[in-house]
Structure 1
């Protein structure tokens, strides 16, 4: 299989990440710190890409592992974390093997995200933690014109829940690889349907949030 990110992996690593604003303007790292928190078990990043968050996960005390469909992105992840090429909806991991799992700014790249959540629940031990940090479904997508950050324009399309390459900017990844949009109720229902108990939430980015984060826990059976 060839993943869409294979074609832009070098650009993503050397140009897109290099041009990122300093600090944590979208609050992604703050949300990951707050909702994942310290731990000492194995934490799987699903859709790890180039391993940009591996050090942060390790600094929290976790043993960072990763899976991604793109061989091109994983080429840049070498040295950052132990990672394997795999479909996020069909993880090559036995049941209840992990203490924690995360997805970071990746769920819109996964058209089968409800299946990904079911797989996350399957590989987590009972009471294991799952943290989702992703673009905000209410304010980001092909329906959201973010040209003026002080006045985001929401156009028809939020309720459609479709895949699109439409983007408010040509400087990011969405106009290159597309994105799948999940309206907020569908996204949260997918957690519940997977057997994950919702615990905490967070938002990041200002003045209109760019990121939404969720912490959930695998239910005991």
Structure 2
């Protein structure tokens, strides 16, 4: 997508190096807890520049990635095997994979329910899907996080929409926009895709920034 191609250099060379070191919003901890160790192929949906591949390898998985942005994939190609493609129409056979992950990308995907259906399709029975994303109840165009001690939730949480409204000009959302699903709609999309929910985690403090979900294909 053009918007992500345009920000690929900024994302790799400015945004990532400026990110807070460690794991302040629990992305790594949630992935380790909900995915665990494995030794099969693991597909990362919307892999971007491939920054999560190293942790997937640490857990024993063999990561591969798919993304629509050629600009992002130019960086990811150095980190994991990649293909350019739409996460809602994966060029992968049914029941081919042991694990699929979506790392902080569901707000970048206007039709995330379709993405979940594709994740379920390419997973083998018993395969694991892990979603690590911004918290639908506390992040979005409706959430003012200027004061981390007192996040202000304005009107808009119940409305599914695409927006470039953002509480900060230092991140991604005012550049590429974001879609929003209220928590019930997000969970219902998992069930509608045929995924059985198996675990949850929140990350960030004092108000959670991330909500992570694990599920299996039955």
Give the TM-score category using the shorter length: over 0.9
Structure 1 position 4, deviation (Å): 1.9
Deviations 1:179-210, CA, capped at 9 Å, x for gaps = 00000000000000000000000000000000
Alignment of 1:53-92 (within 5 A): 53-92=52-91
TM-score, normalised to structure 2's length? 0.99
| Partner residue, 1:194 | 193
Taking the aligned partners of 1:157 and 1:79, their CA distance within structure 2 comes to: 40
| Partner residue, 1:40 | 39
| Partner residue, 1:159 | 158
Taking the aligned partners of 2:96 and 2:141, their CA distance within structure 1 comes to: 37
| Partner residue, 2:48 | 49
Taking the aligned partners of 1:123 and 1:38, their CA distance within structure 2 comes to: 19
How many residues matched? 218
Taking the aligned partners of 2:119 and 2:35, their CA distance within structure 1 comes to: 15
Structure 1 position 79, deviation (Å): 1.9
Taking the aligned partners of 1:11 and 1:4, their CA distance within structure 2 comes to: 12
Taking the aligned partners of 2:180 and 2:138, their CA distance within structure 1 comes to: 11
| Partner residue, 2:96 | 97
> SS where residue 24 of structure 1 aligns?
coil
Deviations 1:54-100, CA, capped at 9 Å, x for gaps = 00001100000000000000001122100100001000000000000
> SS where residue 130 of structure 2 aligns?
strand
Alignment of 1:95-174 (within 5 A): 95-174=94-173
Structure 1 position 3, deviation (Å): 3.5
Deviations 1:116-169, CA, capped at 9 Å, x for gaps = 000000000001000000000000000000000000000000001110000000
For the 8 Å contact 1:3–1:69, the answer to whether it is kept is no
Q: Is residue 2:206 matched to residue 1:207?
A: yes
TM-score, normalised to structure 1's length? 0.98
Q: Is residue 2:11 matched to residue 1:12?
A: yes
**Unaligned runs of at least 5 residues, structure 1:** none
Taking the aligned partners of 2:131 and 2:49, their CA distance within structure 1 comes to: 18
Taking the aligned partners of 1:74 and 1:32, their CA distance within structure 2 comes to: 22
For the 8 Å contact 1:129–1:217, the answer to whether it is kept is yes
Question: Which segments of structure 1 move beyond 6 Å, counting only runs of 4 or more?
Answer: none
